[in-house]
Amino acid sequence: MPLVQIDLDRSLAERLGEQISDGIHQALVDGLGMDPTDKFQIFRTHAPGEIVFDPGYNGVDRRQLVSIQILMVHMYDVTTKYAMFDQIAKRLEEIGIRPDDLLISIVENGFEDWYAGKSRS
C-alpha cells in the first residue's frame, strides 16, 4: 500500500490535480504491478515562494518543482523502481508536466510498519 505525497504549486493543483492523481496512480499500477484499488494520496499545495529549489541542480532545467514522495513497503528491486519512475514521468508529461520538473523519492519500510484499518490479531 504505497502512500503518495505530492507537493506542488497551488495553481498547478487547481488546473491538473485530478489528472496528476490519476497519472501517478496508473504509473504505480503499471510500474509496480500494484492493485488498482490501492489508492492513497495526499496533495499539499503551496503558494508562490513556498517551494524552494535550485533550477539547475544536477544539470536539469527545472522551472516548477513537483515533489512526489512515495512511502511503500521494501519489496521492489531497483529495476522495478526505475520502471515506476519512468511511468510517472511519462504519464505526467502527457498532461503537460515536464520530466525535468519532477523530484520523485521513495521511502521504504516493512509490512509491520503499516496499519490500514484492519486488525493484525
The total of structural domains in the chain comes to 1
Contacts of 119 (CB under 8 A, 6+ apart): none
Is residue 120 in some structural domain? no
Total Cβ atoms within 10 A of residue 18 = 10
Is residue 117 in some structural domain? no
Can you tell me which residue has the cell 507537493?
A: 7
Is residue 74 in some structural domain? yes
**Residue-number span of the structural domain to which 98 is assigned:** 3-112
Query: Is pLDDT above 70 for 120?
Result: no
β-strand partners of 6: 43, 68
Is residue 8 in some structural domain? yes
pLDDT of 121:
54
pLDDT digits (tens, 9 = 90+) for 51-82: 999 999 999 999 999 999 999 999 999 999 99
Is residue 45 in some structural domain? yes
Selection from 69, 55, 72, 61 nearest residue 24 by Cα: 69
pLDDT digits (tens, 9 = 90+) for 7-43: 999 999 999 999 999 999 999 999 999 999 999 999 9
Q: Give the DSSP H or E segment for 79.
A: helix 78-94
Is residue 48 in some structural domain? yes
Q: Give the DSSP H or E segment for 11.
A: helix 10-32
* CATH number, domain containing residue 15: 3.30.429.10
Is residue 96 in some structural domain? yes
β-strand partners of 68: 6, 104
Is residue 79 in some structural domain? yes
Residues 57-95, buried b or exposed e (16+ Cβ, 10 A)?
A: eeeeebeebbbbbbbbeeebeeeebebbbebbbebbeee
